[in-house]
Amino acid sequence: MNFETTWIFIALALSHNFPALATKTEVDALPALATKTEVDALLHSGWWLDSDMSLNVSHCMWLGVSCDDSESIIKINMPDRGPHDYMVTRNLNNMNFSLLPNLASLRLPNNHLTDIIPLHICALQKLRHLNLSHNYLTEVGELKSLTHLDLSLNNLCGQIPHELGSLVLLTYLNLQNNSLQGTVLEFQMLLKLNYINLAYNHLTGNIPNSLAHVRYGFFQGNEGLKEIELSKRMSRKLMTVALTPTMSRELMTMVIPPMAITFIFNLILCSCCILRHRMTSKQLETVEKNGDFLSIWNYDGRIAYEDIINATEGFDIKYCIGTGGYGSVYKAQLPNKKIVALKKLHRFEAEDPSFDHSFRNEVKHLTEVRHRSIIKLHGFCLHRQCMFLVYEYMERGSLFCALRDDVEAVELNWRKRLNIVWDMAHALSYLHHNCTKSIVHRDISSNNILLDNKFQAFLSDFGMSLLTLWLLMRNAMYIALEW
């Protein structure tokens, strides 16, 4: 065997054992093999209909899928409540995300996802954007390398997951409308975080100084959370400017004087507000001693009793849109153009202790629960001369009325009716299992299921609801969760 033949055999052996030295045809086949693996992951997930998986259509053209130039999947963005919602079942565990190494964005809002975020999602090295809002997730998992995380309107409970404090690249964090408890994390390692929303949870304690620059509106709805004093909030902003490495002396000269003036002005304004608040508190104490209570608000806290009276012209009959067993419902447009529904207790029923108890019971429970399928209470007035509740307005009224109307009954097809059943099932599950103290509604009927303009269902009328703990103490026998 000559020298040239020996080198040919060595080259063939190396090309067989080392892919880096393989033939050009084999190298060109590697991207195609990787793409096929990703397509197999989509096919086995069961997330798409057969019509979306036609061999004549590239997987990059499937609903919600985006690819790069090599047809590798980089984004999955499934729409909210589309026609696929009840024809396919999307379960996070059905998708093998480990076969999607280039996935950078995953958006699955309102897809009825439950339980915990799987580990194979947390292990994705290139995943930067994760939106799983409007679902029923209960745990977060070991997430890594994210810049955008939206888990709002889920069933997260317990303390804020400490794993979030290690997401050093995070710039956006939305955890509003969950059931999180305990104190707020410092988030000292999240130096790039410029948006955080923790509103409408059950958080307590003080807002950390590291979040003093965040607008207080992003913490509202947490009754046990104490607001940071304005002076500390402003000093935090000044420290942020002073510690910026790229800030030049000239820019500091331009920025600090206006901020100092603003600080002094806000300090004076805050002192006036505190003085006014103390005077108002004294008035409220006097009112409460007489057995009356008034608390009317909305998202900006500016609804007043006078606005309600003016909007209905003193509850004129022309604004009445319905009458129930112990009250009438009025439609009113407030000065901020927001339309609300008012349930007013009749004066005769207000003198009946049972009706009064039912009315106060509804206030108690609706101010404690927060769920997307439970009617939102904007405010209430409990006064011996005038008792009413301020609700979010539902354009289509009750399910009972929709089913009785021939036109709306046709429009309310089976898919929409299934949506209603789904919404009510999750609302009841939330009341029974996710509230601090389980609540039994006791009056589920088509009259108490309200529909908005998109036929989304909302559970209402908590006048007969009771805490299960109280029920069990009162009755030794077995009590079903709903009757």
Is the pTM here over 0.95, yes or no?
no
Spans of the chain below 50 pLDDT: 1-30, 83-84, 231, 234-248, 250-251, 281-294, 298-302, 468-483
Domains of the chain with bracketed CATH: 3-247 (3.80.10.10), 293-474 (1.10.510.10)
pLDDT in tens, 250-303: 445 656 777 778 888 888 888 777 776 665 544 433 333 333 444 555 434 445
Strand 105-107 relative to strand 129-131, pairing: parallel
Q: How far is CA 404 from CA 13, 117, 397, 411, 447, in A?
A: 80, 42, 12, 12, 11
Q: What is the pLDDT of residue 173?
A: 94
Strand partners for 389: 343, 380
Q: What is the pLDDT of residue 324?
A: 67
- Token digits of residue 132: 């799983």
CB atoms within 10 A of CB 296: 19
- Token digits of residue 299: 């998202």
Distance CA 301, CA 327 (A): 26
Q: What is the pLDDT of residue 169?
A: 92
Which residues belong to the active site? 443
- Token digits of residue 265: 């002005």
User: What's the CA angle centered on 202, arms 198 and 208, to 5 degrees?
Assistant: 55
Q: What is the pLDDT of residue 481?
A: 42
- Give the relative orientation of helices 249-289 and 230-242 as an angle to the nearest 10 degrees: 160
Q: What is the pLDDT of residue 177?
A: 92
Q: What is the pLDDT of residue 351?
A: 62
